[in-house]
Amino acid sequence: MTTPLRALIVDDEALARSRLRTLLGDCTSPAVVVAGEAAHAVQAMDALRREVFDVVLLDIRMPGVDGITLAQTLAQLPQAPAVVFVTAHSEHAVQAFEVEAVDYLTKPVRLERLQQALQKVERIAQAAKGLQAETDEECLIIQDRGRTERVPLAEVLYLKAELKYVTVRTADKSYILDGSLNELEERYAQQFMRIHRNALVARRAVRALEKHFDPEEGEGWAVRLRGVDELLAVSRRQLSAVREAIAS
């Protein structure tokens, strides 16, 4: 990024905020500016209403609303910042990633580990900007019952081959597209990844990889996507590639 990441520190302990502010000042890759501090959730939300932050460095155990609950609220903001938990308690890691935190750091935080977390934030921000630029004007043209409809590619969660057609799924609706899944994969490789011979999923929509039992294929793995309740099976052949994509 050409400009420093704007960070908001949220911790009820003044000494903890001071130490983290000092560490952030030592970060060079990426550069970070502490644009705000808060001692509890109410102060944090006030700051977020006034300004836009790239990342919130968030404690978990605080008076009143805890960090996990605050992170759930942050995810609903129009310009949701990335969340990096910074806590003395390691037992909340699973909950932290359930609310889609970028990283989970335990106190005392090492500079190297903090920079790794911020580099993840930077990569996500760059990818989001690049993807948005690519998909702003891109649409799939759907012929539906005598009418033509433009479905923005940014709204598509998955593409699934069904006999001679492809199901196009958004959070609100399913469409039928007369086309080839292989052609769609080749054309939109940056936005979608193959998880099965019959399915492509939007990279931005992947929430988790989970163990799953399929009545036809038996025990295996599936991805969970934001915006839909159903799980989509991941083939053994694609499993390692999916794992790598989620971890990157």
Chain length of the chain: 248
Q: Please tell me the distance from the alpha carbon of residue 233 to that of residue 198, in angstroms, as a whole number.
A: 10
Six token digits for residue 143: 């012929």
**pTM, whole model, 2 decimals?**
0.54
Beta carbons of 246 and 209 less than 8 angstroms apart: yes
pLDDT of residue 6: 95
Domains of the chain, by residue range, sit at: 5-134, 139-247
Is 5-134's fold the same as 139-247's? Answer: no
User: From 3.90.1150.10, 3.40.50.10860, 2.40.50.1020, 3.30.430.20, which CATH number describes the 139-247 domain?
Assistant: 2.40.50.1020
| Intervals of the chain under pLDDT 50 | 1, 135
pLDDT of residue 1: 46
Beta carbons of 201 and 195 less than 8 angstroms apart: yes
pLDDT of residue 130: 57
Classify domain 5-134 at the CATH class level. alpha beta
pLDDT of residue 212: 83
